[in-house]
Structure formats: structure tokens, C-alpha cells
Amino acid sequence: MTGLVKSLAPSIWSEIQSAQKILFCCHPSPDPDSIGSNLAFSLALEAIGKQTTVLAGDSELPKSVSHLPGVDRIVPRNFLQADLSQYDLFIALDASGLEQITKEGPINFPSSLSVVVIDHHHTNNSFGRVNLVDTAYISVGEIVYDLFSLWNIPTTSDIAANLYLAMYTDSGGFKYEKTTPATYEIASKLIKIYPDFSQLVFKYENQNDPERIYYEGLALTSVKLFFNNQVAISLIEYPQLNKLGIRKVHTDKSEIANALKSVIGWQIGISFVEKVPRIVSLSFRTRDPVNFDVCRIAQATKFGGGHPAAAGATLKMPFDEALKYLLDTIASVYPQLGTP
């Protein structure tokens, strides 16, 4: 547990105690860290008498999390569809900025709504009244566990399941660089409470539709190399998806960029997908986050962010224009790569 968490935990707890109706929202294209952390927090606060709402946010929830305890409590609405006047507190988890709450339009928080931010992205712009942004943590799920411990909130089986999957996935199965002994210690405590953790992970990793496999096959056969074969980009246009009946939800939980960066010599792997017409989603991964921090590329597009080893962005422009924009951005951030 870090000193920052210890120092800000009382302020966050004070905000919670002062509120009765509390809102949560998953970020666009939500992953288990977003979904699991929001569900765990909601379940914990309901247990102490608070009224909570968890919004799905901009995106449809992936089938891979349909087995998470409490997932049926998530309301299929985005943030702009919520009546914010009905809530006292909004707790933003795993969201580095307002665009990670919704991309559907501008957000205007009413003065009556207190906002608490809990995140681990170094790109977070601290948009809350209280901002707990601790980049030492591999996942928000781990931060949430430490907060619950400080507040003496019991970790039930349902809470443990959600936090475990949050930590497992954001740490890449406990193998990413920021995985610490504390991460393993917390995971050990969680599986004592929720011993069926292997099935929890199995169901997450093995609930694919045929369309998911078609998508991954398409993605891996659509790879082009740039910058002297150091940057591999999987390029998919919307008509290709539409022809195969592949919906946006089938592209959200994808390891394409990870697969690309696994190849020796391919320093950066990028998934470049036009999920809907004129909107391109980018996912970045790198073999070498010290020399090729992909978050710098995502931020330089002006429409993204993330971590040094893994980042994302969304470009609202035609496919060819978006590709040129991306290549120009990479060249400006890392001139040592050479020309595209």
C-alpha cells in the first residue's frame, strides 16, 4: 500500500459518508479493470447502506464478463443519459480524463455533484474534487482493495471475484512490469475468499463468438510493416468487418497489438480498426516501453493516452487520412525510427 493511498483514503471516505446516491460509469470499450472495480465498489457501498448506480457507458459490455457477480446491476446507458441531479457523488474509476467517461459529447458536472477520481494512468488530468492517481499500481482493482482495507470494508466473495479479475487482466496474468509482491499478496487473499478463481479466468478467456475468431484471423492477415519493419500495424476498414458480420463488440477484447509486438524486431504493434465509418480505434503495444513509450504516441495524436507499454486512441476521420495522421505522429515522436 502506497503513502498516497493512505493519505487520500480519509478524504475519499469523507466524500462517501456525505453522499447517499453514488454514480459509477465504465469507460468506453470497458475492460475487466473498469467493470470489476466499478462493480466491487458498488457492491461494497450498497452493503453499508448507500444507493449506487453503475452505468455501462458508451459501449456494450463484452460477453467475456457476463459471469462476473453483480454484472446484471449494470445499467445499459452512457454517462450523458444519466440525470446527474439525482446523485450526490460520482466516483470515476480507471478514467484518465472526461473522454474516458464518454466520447458521446461534453460533460458538465452540476455544482451539487462531488467527483472523486481513482486511477493509475500517468496521463490522468485530475478532473475531480479528490484525485487519487497512483501510477505505482498495476490496476485500479488493486487500489480499490487497499482502500477497502483502510476503511474496514469486508471483502465478500462477489467483491473478491471482481477485484481478482480486474487485477489479473490489467497485469497481463501477473506478468507485466508493475506487478509487485503486494499484487501477489492481494491476489492470494482474494482467492482464499473466492477459491473458484480458475473458472473465473477460464470463463473470461473462453467465451468467444465465431465472429471474434473471424476478426482475429482478418486482423492477422492484414498486417503491414512500417519504419524499416519496426512498427507492425494491423489495418482493417469498416467494409471488411461489415462483410463478415463482425460487430464492434467482437473487436473490443482483442490481443492483436500484443500478438504483433511479440515478434522479434517489431518494436511497436498497433491495431488500427475502423469499427464504425470514419471512426478508427487504435491500440498500441510495445516490446520496449523505455525506448518506445507508446503512451507518448497516443497522447501526440491528441485523442488518446494510457501507459508506456500499452495505450489507445480514437481518430474521428476517414481511414486513409487517419493512417497518414498516425504515421506522421509516430515519425514526429520517434524520429529515430526513420521514415514510414
pLDDT tens digits, residue range 91-101? 999 999 999 99
Amino acid 10: pLDDT = 98
Q: What residue numbers bound the domain in which 119 lies?
A: 3-205
Whether residue 7 is found in the same domain as residue 147: yes
C-alpha span between 120 and 133 (Å, rounded) = 5
Whether residue 29 is found in the same domain as residue 116: yes
C-alpha span between 298 and 124 (Å, rounded) = 13
Which whole number is the average pLDDT over 110-114? 96
Amino acid 253: pLDDT = 63
CATH for 240:
3.10.310.30
Of the listed ranges 24-28, 53-57, 222-226, 245-249, the one predicted with least confidence: 245-249
Whether residue 252 is found in the same domain as residue 332: yes
Amino acid 177: pLDDT = 83
Whether residue 200 is found in the same domain as residue 229: no
CA 85 to chain centre: 27
For the chain, the distance separating the N- and C-terminal CA atoms, rounded to the nearest angstrom, is 44
Asked if the model's pLDDT at residue 237 lies above 70, the reply is yes
Of 28, 48, 6, give the one whose Cα is nearest residue 248: 28
DSSP run (H or E) holding 313: strand 310-315
Whether residue 260 is found in the same domain as residue 177: no
Whether residue 191 is found in the same domain as residue 232: no
Whether residue 215 is found in the same domain as residue 201: no
CATH for 167:
3.90.1640.10
Which whole number is the average pLDDT over 73-98? 97
Amino acid 306: pLDDT = 86
Whether residue 273 is found in the same domain as residue 185: no
Residue 288 burial (CB count, 10 A): 13
Whether residue 167 is found in the same domain as residue 251: no
Whether residue 106 is found in the same domain as residue 223: no
Q: For residue range 186-211, what is the model confidence (pLDDT) as tens digits?
A: 999 999 999 999 999 999 999 888 98
Whether residue 31 is found in the same domain as residue 146: yes
Q: For residue range 287-320, what is the model confidence (pLDDT) as tens digits?
A: 999 999 999 999 999 988 888 989 999 999 999 9
Asked if the model's pLDDT at residue 147 lies above 70, the reply is yes
Q: For residue range 253-298, what is the model confidence (pLDDT) as tens digits?
A: 668 999 999 999 999 999 999 999 999 999 999 999 999 999 999 9
- How many helices (H) and strands (E) the chain has is answered by 12, 12
Cβ-Cβ contacts under 8 Å for 295 (sequence gap 6 or more): 122, 123, 284, 305, 306, 307, 308, 311
Amino acid 109: pLDDT = 97
Residue 221's pLDDT band (boundaries 50, 70, 90)? Answer: very high
Whether residue 198 is found in the same domain as residue 52: yes
Q: How many domains does the chain have?
A: 2
Which whole number is the average pLDDT over 99-120? 96
Amino acid 307: pLDDT = 87
Which whole number is the average pLDDT over 5-23? 98
Asked if the model's pLDDT at residue 249 lies above 90, the reply is no
Of 180, 205, 230, the one marking the end of a domain is 205
Of 172, 205, 238, the one marking the end of a domain is 205
Q: 0.85 cut: is pTM over it? A: yes
Of 205, 223, 246, the one marking the end of a domain is 205
For strands 51-55 and 21-25, give the pairing.
Answer: parallel
